Structure 1
Amino acid sequence: MRQIKILILLFVGVSISSCSDFLSPEPLSAITADSYFKNDSEILTGVINMYDGIQGLNSTRSTDNHGIQQEFQVTEMRSDNTRTKSGEGESAQFDAFNVDPTNGIVADYYRSYYNVVYRANIVLNNLGSASDAMKPSFEAEAKFVRAYAYFNLVRLFGDIPLIDKVIDPLEKEIQFTRVNEDLVYDLIVSDLITAVDGLGAGTYGRASKSAAQALLAKVYLTLGEHSLAKQLCLDVMGAGFTLESNFKDIFYNEGNDEVIWAIVYDGDNATDSQNFSAEWLNSVGRTVGLNYVTTEAAAALDLLGGSRTKYSYRLDEIQISQNQVAKYIPNGDANLGIEPTSGDPTLAGNDWIIMRYADVLLMYVEATMGTATETSDASALIAFNKIRARADMPLASSITKQELLDERRAELAFENQRWFDLIRFGAANEVYTKFSADNGYGYSPTDLLLPIPQGEIGLSAGLLTQNPGY
């Protein structure tokens, strides 16, 4: 089942160049939020518009909201999984751990996700116009989206401004004052608890109770609340999701029973397609190749991937010394039995999976292990070995923390998980120090956070501070 077609609402002010743009005076002749949201059907368009913000625009304009379409650069390409092909340009700053505060990709991601927060706050601000029947679900869905946006922002930038309502142009301190990340996590947890309580089965392209439970479980793991995460994982494990028998089908049989939540794209559609998967290929996207697989990741997949490996990376068809991500190929691959998702790869229809059942199974193992370095718990072994069996890998009789981290790398490679996994497992400094030394990069511990965009600091007139090391 496809997601409801994404709507772009004129009153939201989608094209933004900074967090302050959406605070600009409203045009007197246009539809505004104050005059528009008067009933359930109109509030629903605001709900759908939140997902449009995450989906982002398939464009090259620097002022557009690109949502999730550039997330691979601030996650995978900063990790030991992927890099640029050429080692040139702004993207190469992520390869070498030398990201500049003026990096346009970082600024794009920051403002795009604050725009998602704004869209969620618009819905929450207008719940008074909702019917009694729909108000709880609208609130739950908006808080789920807001929590998701803040979870990404706080993990990438650390202490950040916390905007939990629609604000006006004079409220500069709210917009530009960084708060302790503990306060951000407090809002995330509160929002997701509301989402869990208020959501139902949903569809894979929209928030659901299981998606909220899975996301909250990952938040609790990040906070070290293992027992709370374990129960949430158990709830999702009892909700009817299953592993696809063929690993390829996760990514090319869209809407399958393993997908808990995905951002849906429609191929050959200028507004609802994506271009990131084309950028990962040589001479197909607009660049010469991004998100190319590192030697280290290829070696890990060759050793640990089993039957997953050929659907995780492949040789560059033009330059066979290079390796490309194979999970989201937009123009098809006859050798892998993959069909194109559009007539034009830069208008790709490959959905982006944010949460799937295999991730929940591995989170259950992580929650069961807790602060220990190994587990032989029977239920954890069952969950772990389901994934190993699908990959045609030997079954485990015990699981160490390192083996779990390795399994997550093999199973979830190139799905924007590796960066966060290494930090959550406390392994980032060790891994990146060695990776940097082996490749002549410049990693230091301050690189675990991105810089606050310099443009935002300039707009704040001194209120917004920079992260250490930048």
Structure 2
Amino acid sequence: MKNIIKTSVLSLIIGGSLVSCNDFLTIDPIDKPVLETYYTTPAALQSTTMALYASKTWSNFHMNFQWKLDMINGDIYYTYSDEGQWYFGTYTSVNPYLNEGWKGIYNVILDANSIIHDIVPICGGTITQADKDQALGEARAMRGYCHYMLAEVWHDVPVIENNTEMISSGNLDVPRNTQASVYRFAMEDLDAAVELLPEETTDNYRLNKRKARALRAKLAVTMAAHKDYGYDRDALYAKAAADALDVIENTQALTQIDFSTLFDVEANNGPESILAIQCGVLGYSYGNARNTAWSRSSVIADQTWGAGKGPTLSLQQMYDRNDKRRMWTYMTNGDVYPMLNRAGGGYTYQYVSRDGNGDVLEDRNEMLAHIKKYIIGKGADCDGNVGINQDAANNIYLMRLADVYLTYVEAKMGTASSTSDATAMKYYNMVRQRAGVAEASSVTYMELLKERRRELAFESQTWFDTQRYRYREGNAAALEMLNNGYGTGLNRASMIVPDYNKYPTIDASNENNRDIYIVVSNTADGGQYDEILLTDLSFVAPIPAAVSSSSPALMGEPVDYYGGAAE
């Protein structure tokens, strides 16, 4: 049990060493005893690597932090309390969700390290070298991708390579490492994973060589976006393009995969999924909490607190009228969903819905729309795949196939501002073909960002896209994009209110008529907020206060993990 104790101690340090009665602050990455007598069969080893994908392992991240990135990037409207600080860009180091995100990602890293350093070295019995390589490959891919995500939210963060060794040496007050050296470490991990992993695995949810190449492609385009680190940008873009193309050519065509069901249980670990958090109806933190957090009302969910959340007006402006993705991304007036509220004959979205007595069942929000992506209804609507403890069984994507297609386009564009490359446009247009919108003969970088936003809204990817745009074009350009709603002119203060000047009476006779509502962007016109402007400070999250209070070295200047210049 020694290694379990060691790993848990560092977990508390990375998570802030908080004293609390809350169980989630006591992280135990490995659920099986580390004994030579246990790790003697491939099944035993696989039972441990399974934890790398489990909702429980990722729970602090996906339940309490991940989708806050969609708020700061201006995709999700929500202004309440500490969560609302992400929408306003006013969060500070004491915002509790920062600590949840930090701790959640590092918890996965600690799991990966236990596999790499504590588990695989003691494997014996019938476990082959191929079995060990697969376990190492999965752990290193996950560790590398987690460091990539940390580097995009906090920029300069500690590289945690061997927590057991750190604890043995008493080296617990770790400094931050430079973003460039974190990238280098992540790339070394992903390079190793591509070499170690098999072409295919027996479990569809597991990473294989092809999927690791998809993750590596995302890291490569991120590094290549930087003008300030001395990278061979052309070489990185070429590497990303080769990786992405290999994935695309060896996976079912995107146009053969139904977008409308991508976020249902039926799509779990299907051909669209590159890497996904595995969810189940097993209790709090073991499943997907979005069905609860984002559902509009008890009409469509057993638990719900999503009434005040919705797609921002700038996001709504992104979609063409015929875009098939739109109604599976967000719901608005007249949309019909037979799979929701089956007992009531299905669900038709109205701005305001009333019962037979005329009493309001569902009221409008400021966006006149609510989120649909990841919403699968009540347990009775989906064969019991929703529990009563924020635990739905539909997986949460960390990367999916459409992202790989669009990453390929970005890689082929390279340092240019547009591309008409035939193969890049073929795959760009396949994304649009599935959506039912017009094809294009060329695409600019900004058009690519907008396409990514349409495709990946509410999947916490647009934040990473914004960072790459910032690396390429600078803070001012990125702030203009966010504060101007991707060129729509709709600042995040924009909302929809009744036009009482023209319609002094708003009641059941007209409340679902779009014509009675107007868009406002300031308090003088009846809005709740004046212009909300993000600043340069919004692009780099502060180190959580709970962490820096116990590890003061984190507040010092970042150092290169390798002790020299970034390569």
Higher mean displacement: 73-82 or 196-205? 196-205
SS in 1 for 2:399: strand
CA contact (8 A) 2:55 2:287 kept: no
Q: Distance in 1 between matches of 2:457 and 2:54?
A: 25
Higher mean displacement: 171-180 or 281-290? 281-290
The match for 1:331 is: 377
**Does the alignment pair 1:129 with 2:127?**
no
The alpha-carbon deviation at position 34 of structure 1 amounts to 6.6
The alignment of Structure 1 onto Structure 2 pairs a total of residues equal to 444
Bigger Rg over Cα: 2
Q: What are the superposed Cα offsets for residues 378-428 of structure 1, whole Å, 9 maximum, x if unpaired?
A: 111111111111111111111111221111111111111111112212352
**Does the alignment pair 1:120 with 2:166?**
no
The match for 1:177 is: 175
The alpha-carbon deviation at position 15 of structure 1 amounts to 12
CA contact (8 A) 1:457 1:463 kept: yes
1:235–1:245 CA distance, 2 compared to 1 (3 A) = closer
Residue 263 (structure 2) aligned to one of 238, 241, 251: 251
Residue 314 (structure 2) aligned to one of 287, 292, 296: 296
Q: Distance in 2 between matches of 1:26 and 1:343?
A: 23
Q: What are the superposed Cα offsets for residues 272-312 of structure 1, whole Å, 9 maximum, x if unpaired?
A: 322233101234546454752111111212x3771111111
The match for 1:83 is: 77
**Does the alignment pair 1:430 with 2:431?**
no
- What letter corresponds to residue 431 of structure 1 in structure 2? M
**Does the alignment pair 1:19 with 2:14?**
yes
- What letter corresponds to residue 187 of structure 1 in structure 2? F
**Does the alignment pair 1:349 with 2:347?**
no
Residue 135 (structure 2) aligned to one of 138, 144, 159: 138
**Does the alignment pair 1:411 with 2:455?**
yes
CA contact (8 A) 1:331 1:340 kept: no
Q: Distance in 2 between matches of 1:137 and 1:333?
A: 36
1:37–1:150 CA distance, 2 compared to 1 (3 A) = farther
CA contact (8 A) 2:66 2:460 kept: yes
CA contact (8 A) 1:73 1:91 kept: no
The alpha-carbon deviation at position 70 of structure 1 amounts to 3.0
Q: Distance in 2 between matches of 1:430 and 1:384?
A: 25
**Does the alignment pair 1:218 with 2:218?**
yes
Q: What are the superposed Cα offsets for residues 362-382 of structure 1, whole Å, 9 maximum, x if unpaired?
A: 111111111111111111111
TM score, norm. by length of structure 2: 0.71
Q: What are the superposed Cα offsets for residues 242-276 of structure 1, whole Å, 9 maximum, x if unpaired?
A: 22443212222313322222222123655632223
The alpha-carbon deviation at position 352 of structure 1 amounts to 0.9
- What letter corresponds to residue 128 of structure 1 in structure 2? P
The match for 1:4 is: none
CA contact (8 A) 2:378 2:386 kept: no
Q: What are the superposed Cα offsets for residues 68-98 of structure 1, whole Å, 9 maximum, x if unpaired?
A: 22343331111111121xx221100101000
1:288–1:376 CA distance, 2 compared to 1 (3 A) = closer
**Does the alignment pair 1:93 with 2:184?**
no
CA contact (8 A) 2:483 2:532 kept: no
Q: Distance in 2 between matches of 1:103 and 1:113?
A: 17
The match for 1:313 is: 330
The match for 1:280 is: 294
SS in 2 for 1:56: helix
The match for 1:70 is: 64
1:304–1:179 CA distance, 2 compared to 1 (3 A) = farther
CA contact (8 A) 1:11 1:33 kept: no
CA contact (8 A) 1:19 1:456 kept: yes
The match for 1:46 is: 48
Residue 404 (structure 2) aligned to one of 360, 373, 378: 360
Q: What are the superposed Cα offsets for residues 199-226 of structure 1, whole Å, 9 maximum, x if unpaired?
A: 1223442212122100100000001121
The match for 1:264 is: 278
TM score, norm. by length of structure 1: 0.84
SS in 1 for 2:466: helix
SS in 2 for 1:314: strand
Question: What are the ranges of 5 or more consecutive residues in structure 1 without an aligned counterpart?
Answer: 1-8, 58-65
CA contact (8 A) 1:46 1:119 kept: no
CA contact (8 A) 1:161 1:174 kept: no
The alpha-carbon deviation at position 49 of structure 1 amounts to 2.1
**Does the alignment pair 1:450 with 2:541?**
yes
Q: Distance in 2 between matches of 1:157 and 1:21?
A: 16
